[in-house]
């Protein structure tokens, strides 16, 4: 059996009782980075053996893992933070378990985009999750297509690329498009910076940035809720950064 177990995105206290029980009872745990996961497991006194499972080896080891589960092994999959499969390895193993008729369960738990979306102040009734934008090939095509997306959009980004990405979003979506950049969610220095793409870009271009990043951007004018200013015009509700 395969257990997909979410892990805290920052604050270790966000681990659920059920997640701890599943990890303790598994035959072994698949971890994206065993060094990172060892800190979490030690915090909760979990001594289950760890094995690496990441984008560099998943194609090579998946068939072997499926065979072990066929033999009755209970396998838990965790990533460095958040829910496996959300911009993290899991899809391939889940698909092969389903094809093999093996039971699996995904526990509810931490994921970064939900608190970022809710705290953004942008419409949450309809949204699209875009994860990480392509680094090079396909980036222009994706941004061009999303410029007319009416739903609220959610992206992940690294701190090293945040300023460049915000500048490109201002170029493709319009500098007045409302957005919120959330970083260090659930940690001591959590920050949710709201404003137009122009304003938020200027802030981080001057300040620099650290930590894991979620960008939430309002949909194009006329989208759900009708709250967004036309591209190029500042939304009055986003005049001040908060």
Residue 78 and residue 5 in contact, taking contact as beta carbons nearer than 8 Å? yes
Share of the chain above pLDDT 90, in %: 87
- The mean per-residue pLDDT over the stretch 9-32 comes to 96
pTM of the model: 0.87
Query: What pairing do the DSSP bridges indicate for beta strands 2-4 and 127-132?
Result: unpaired
* Domains in the chain, CATH or no CATH each: 2-106 (3.40.1010.10), 113-238 (3.30.950.10)
Q: What are the pLDDT digits (tens) for 167-208?
A: 999 999 999 999 999 999 999 989 999 999 999 999 999 987
Q: Quick one: which H or E segment has residue 164?
A: helix 162-173
Alpha-carbon distance of 175 to 172, in angstroms, equals: 8
Share of the chain above pLDDT 70, in %: 91
Q: What is the pLDDT of residue 233?
A: 41
Decide: helix, strand or coil at residue 146. Answer: helix
Q: What is the pLDDT of residue 135?
A: 92
Q: What is the pLDDT of residue 226?
A: 39
Q: Is the pLDDT of residue 232 over 90?
A: no
Q: How far is CA 217 from the centre of its chain?
A: 15
Alpha-carbon distance of 23 to 17, in angstroms, equals: 10
Residue 240 and residue 197 in contact, taking contact as beta carbons nearer than 8 Å? no
178 is written with which tokens? 């409302």
Alpha-carbon distance of 61 to 147, in angstroms, equals: 39
145 is written with which tokens? 């297509």
Q: What is the pLDDT of residue 211?
A: 86
Q: What is the pLDDT of residue 222?
A: 54
Q: Which residue has the higher pLDDT, 228 or 14?
A: 14
CA angle in degrees (0–180, nearest 5) for 61-2-5: 105
Q: What is the pLDDT of residue 197?
A: 98
Q: What are the pLDDT digits (tens) for 43-63?
A: 999 999 999 999 999 999 999
Q: What are the pLDDT digits (tens) for 113-133?
A: 999 999 999 999 999 999 999
- Please list the residues that pair with 52 across neighbouring strands: 31
Q: What is the pLDDT of residue 102?
A: 97
């Amino acid at each position: 059996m395969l257990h997909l177990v979410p892990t805290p995105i920052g604050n270790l206290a966000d681990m659920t009782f059920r997640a701890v029980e599943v990890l303790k009872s598994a035959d072994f745990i698949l971890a994206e980075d065993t060094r990172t996961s060892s800190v979490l497991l030690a915090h909760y006194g979990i001594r289950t053996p760890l094995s690496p499972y990441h984008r560099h080896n998943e194609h090579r080891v998946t068939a072997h893992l499926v065979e072990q589960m066929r033999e009755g092994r209970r396998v838990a999959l965790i990533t460095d933070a958040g829910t496996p499969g959300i911009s993290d390895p899991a899809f391939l193993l889940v698909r092969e378990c389903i094809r093999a008729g093996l039971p699996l369960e995904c526990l509810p738990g931490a994921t970064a985009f939900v608190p970022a979306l809710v705290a953004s102040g942008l419409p949450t009734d309809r949204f699209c999750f875009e994860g990480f934008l392509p680094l090079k090939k396909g980036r222009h095509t994706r941004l061009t297509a999303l410029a007319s997306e009416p739903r609220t959009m959610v992206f992940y980004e690294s701190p090293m690329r945040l300023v460049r990405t915000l500048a490109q979003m201002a170029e493709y979506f319009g500098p007045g498009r409302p957005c919120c950049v959330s970083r260090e969610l659930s940690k001591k220095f959590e920050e949710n910076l709201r404003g137009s793409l122009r304003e938020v870009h200027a802030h981080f271009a001057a300040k620099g940035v650290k930590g894991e990043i979620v960008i939430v951007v309002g949909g194009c004018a006329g989208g759900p809720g009708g709250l967004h200013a036309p591209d190029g015009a500042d939304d009055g509700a986003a005049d001040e950064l908060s």
